[in-house]
Amino acid sequence: MSSRDLQSVYGAEANPTGDPIGGGAGYRRVVRRGDVTVANAGALLAALEAARAGQVVYVASGSETDLVGHVGIAVPAGVTLAGDRGVDGSPGPLLQNRKMPDRAFLLSAGEGARITGLRIKGSDPDFPDIDYDVKPRSWCGVIRTAGANVEVDNCELSNVHHSGVSASHPNTHVHHCFIHDVHAYPVCVGGMAQPTLIEANLIYWIWHTVAGTGQPGTGYEARYNIAVRQKPPKSWGERHRTHGWDMHEFRSAFLATPRRLLAGDRILIHHNTMQNTGPARSGLIRGVPRDLAQVYNNWFSESDPGLGVRQVEPKGNVWVYNNVYGPEMKQVPIGEDTTARILLKRPEPTGEPARVSGKLALDFEVSVLEGLQVKRVTARVDDRELYAGERAPGPDEVVLDTRELANGIHELFIAVEDNRGVTGAQAVTLAVEN
């Protein structure tokens, strides 16, 4: 489909990849042979240790490899670790560790590594059997990145507490995988992992679908995924509430004084199908992104748009638009939480107070979703107004003389009201040192 065609398609039905969502039968980029073929733990470890960039370590079809005693197994930079998931009905060779120590990951993927066509299973229970009084949270995961440009595709990842894939480096691509029985985060995005692409996966979830730490430099694009919320375990209680797509508030900014809710940089959530059995919300942005969160052309199973993707207060830099809700696919052109985008260039929002002295020329851009108009833009420091107008000021139009402020902590606050009367805001904590 062309980009124009996709504008009128909702949910994962838009999938233009040519491969089945979740991978398996019909997936085309299957690796069928390698430089070395392995079928047990010793051979796998030896082959990976000897492998060089461009080589393929192939796990034999039908094999089941017991990895008890081995965690943090390195897939070297540029190496492909592969199996035959989907070929002639193959479920893919199994790599499993039934006794993972707490906070361990089974595999560590180096820069440019690819992990494809495998079943990889940890030691935590299936969703219905979760009881942390019986088996405490392990914080274990399947795959973590150890470098940029990691690809995880056509895999089945399951049975860990923390994450199926933990991306903490740029350009991670997780696609055409089936991820299930991962208690917390099927995909976790942290560190400086922007952009992370999460594409055409089948995800069964109970806590989140994808979660981000909110750290500056963090963001993700989720597209063409089918996310199915499963029934939470009895041990969690009948009134358990959670949400699917997520970006946390960045913890250090949240704990600072004044407290700020900063939620990553850029987030794109589009053309996904959310089969939410409830009680749960489809997503929550838990702060203000430094750039923009866009949520569009998704199909949310809830008929109530209030149970779609929302944002906590204060609101800003989120566009929710052109999504459909419920089995009737009711279209909502502009979501309630849609606000203006305020891109602060100087000073830039970070996790720490911006240290400033002397004169500071403010530089920020303002834009709104097509169909809306900017009505009023204001800028202030603490309770002192610096600017008010019907447009954003130019880069050198508003100059703050910090010598007029007492040394210490102050708050720069930018607000934009649109023609609906809805206001979005962005704030920066200033540390004045004159």
Record the pTM: 0.96
- Note whether 233 and 119 are same-domain residues: yes
Average pLDDT over residues 179-190: 98
Phi-psi region of 126 (alpha: psi -120 to 50; beta: other; left: phi over 0): beta
- Note whether 53 and 155 are same-domain residues: yes
- Note whether 254 and 347 are same-domain residues: no
Give the contacts of 275 (CB within 8 A, at least 6 positions apart): 226, 227, 228, 229, 301
Task: With cut-offs at 50, 70 and 90, classify the pLDDT of residue 237.
Answer: confident
Phi-psi region of 307 (alpha: psi -120 to 50; beta: other; left: phi over 0): alpha
Q: What DSSP character marks residue 288?
A: B
- Note whether 248 and 387 are same-domain residues: no
Task: With cut-offs at 50, 70 and 90, classify the pLDDT of residue 5.
Answer: confident
Burial environment of residue 250 by CB neighbours within 10 A (0 to 12, 13 to 18, 19 or more): buried
- Note whether 27 and 118 are same-domain residues: yes
* Side-chain-side CA neighbours of residue 272 (13 Å): 32
Give the contacts of 120 (CB within 8 A, at least 6 positions apart): 94, 95, 96, 106, 107, 142, 143, 155, 156, 157, 158
Domain assignment present for 139: yes
- Note whether 35 and 148 are same-domain residues: yes
Distance CA 267, CA 213 (A): 12
- Note whether 244 and 349 are same-domain residues: no
pLDDT per position as a tens digit, 8-55: 899 999 999 999 999 999 999 999 999 999 999 999 999 999 999 999
Q: How many domains does the chain contain in total?
A: 2
Query: How many other C-beta atoms are found inside a 10 Å radius of the C-beta of residue 418?
Result: 20
- Note whether 7 and 132 are same-domain residues: yes
- Note whether 79 and 228 are same-domain residues: yes
Distance CA 368, CA 239 (A): 37
- Note whether 357 and 241 are same-domain residues: no
Smallest Cα–Cα separation from 383: which of 406, 412, 357? 412
Domain assignment present for 307: no
What is the span of the domain harbouring residue 420?
Answer: 342-432
- 62-78 in b/e form (b: 16+ CB < 10 A) is ebebebeebbebbbbbb
Domain assignment present for 108: yes
- Note whether 241 and 369 are same-domain residues: no
pLDDT per position as a tens digit, 63-103: 999 999 999 999 999 999 999 999 999 999 999 999 999 99
Residue 227: pLDDT above 60?
Answer: yes
Structure token digits, residue 16: 């233009």
Q: Indicate which CATH number applies to the domain containing 357.
A: 2.60.40.10
Distance CA 323, CA 305 (A): 9
- Note whether 59 and 153 are same-domain residues: yes
pLDDT per position as a tens digit, 284-320: 999 999 999 999 999 999 999 998 999 998 899 999 9
Domain assignment present for 337: no
pLDDT per position as a tens digit, 242-291: 899 999 999 888 888 788 899 999 999 999 999 987 667 899 999 999 99
